[in-house]
Amino acid sequence: MKLKVFFGKEFAGVLASTADQGVVFSYDDSYRTNKSNSALSISMPLSKKEYPQKECLPFFSGLLPEGDVKRRVSDFLHVSESSTLKLLQELGGECAGMISILPENKNCSVQKSYAFNNENYELLDDETLYGFIKNINVRPLLKAKKELRLSLAGAQEKLPLVYFDKKFYLPKSDAPSTHIVKPSGDGELSTLSINEFVCMKLAQSCGLNVPNVELKTINNTTFLLEERYDRIVNKKSIKRLHQEDFCQALGIMSDRKYQNDNGPDIAKIYSLIQKECTIPLLDTKEFLKYVIFNFIIGNCDAHGKNYSLLYEKGSSKLSPIYDAICTLVYPSLTKKMSMKIGKHYEILKVTKQDFVELATCINLKSSIVLKMLDETITNITNGFDKIRNEKSLAPYQDFLDKLENHIKRELRK
């Protein structure tokens, strides 16, 4: 089985299943020798070599959903969840960043940019949109004219759509989306979208790079609407930017995204930013702010796939923060962090001394890290006062109080 891999509209190489080596990837010679072309990933530089499964699968499997979402998608398609190639064959038309993966007999129709018109996008009425959101657990894929679309990477249910002039549209064929719809979960997690909205607004009050987010309601169902940072909307046209998360960039499989499972740690990500980003001084500082912010809000699920690199016009930088949620507010979720700080994984055991050790680990003065910590605490504390004026949060003041009290209580400890 062979699949064609495209970077934007350029044919980049072939992803194939072999009898003796498993999955392998090879760059196309014409693509590789063109100096204007980019590697798909830091973990797979442009080379004549054939990348074996161990080296190529972390990037390509990282384009797919994870965990329960992947199982539901696999069941829906009647495809084994362990078959990365078969899943990508069904779903790889529009992945994160600029990657498209198509069957061997299909030509790529990806364009440099897409006009915002009826040929590329289908207007969704409220009932259709509500149906997508309501049935996401049993119908995890969007469908336009018999074409299935990827439900984006990650362990949380997400819908990639276009939001323009206060209306929702479903992309057709290979047309890119502009926004991500994130419904809340069930039961204890029914406040998930509100939680993330509040935390993203707090991140904004801390001066972090944050994509635009809105809290929306349809048929009494609340969801988060988040603008995609890897898409550019300009004069009613949409184009893609390339990106990859740090598991992909470091060549680590998604199921090893936690440090305790040999996944990325803070120092490894920090070091890669120093090496690969165009302005490393700015991006290493921003990354540390992300780490500190996620710690203070009580986000124990800030793992290697929740930080990414963004590429544009030959430069690379840290992406905006995303998936920022206070997990501590939900009693059933773990209090063990995805990446340890200092000596501790348990978030409630972390002290300022652990941040001193973190500073030593990345060769920074402890005073720099501790100053960031104090500034972030102050900004988050003040941030709650600012977001209480958000009209969309008016019905959720009880949860906002609960979240604020929880975060401040843990800070006092």
pLDDT tens digits for range 324-357: 999 999 999 999 999 999 999 999 999 999 999 9
Residue type, 276: E
244-412 is classed CATH 1.10.1070:
yes
| Answer CATH for 114-231 from 3.30.160.110, 3.30.200.120, 3.40.50.300, 3.30.1490.20 | 3.30.200.120
pLDDT tens digits for range 275-302: 999 999 999 999 999 999 999 999 999 9
pLDDT tens digits for range 154-207: 445 788 899 988 999 988 877 888 999 998 877 888 899 999 999 999 999 999
More confident residue, 296 or 412: 296
Gap between the Cα atoms of 393 and 398, Å rounded: 10
Conformation bin of residue 251: beta by default, left when phi > 0, alpha when psi is -120 to 50: left
Q: Are 106 and 147 in contact (CB under 8 A)?
A: no
DSSP string, 220-250: TEEEEEEE-TTEEEETTEEEE-EEEEHHHHH
DSSP string, 349-381: G--HHHHHHHHHHTT--HHHHHHHHHHHHHHHH
What is the domain partition of the chain in residue ranges?
Answer: 2-103, 114-231, 244-412
Percent of the chain with pLDDT over 70: 92
Binned at pLDDT 50, 70 and 90, residue 151 comes out as: very low
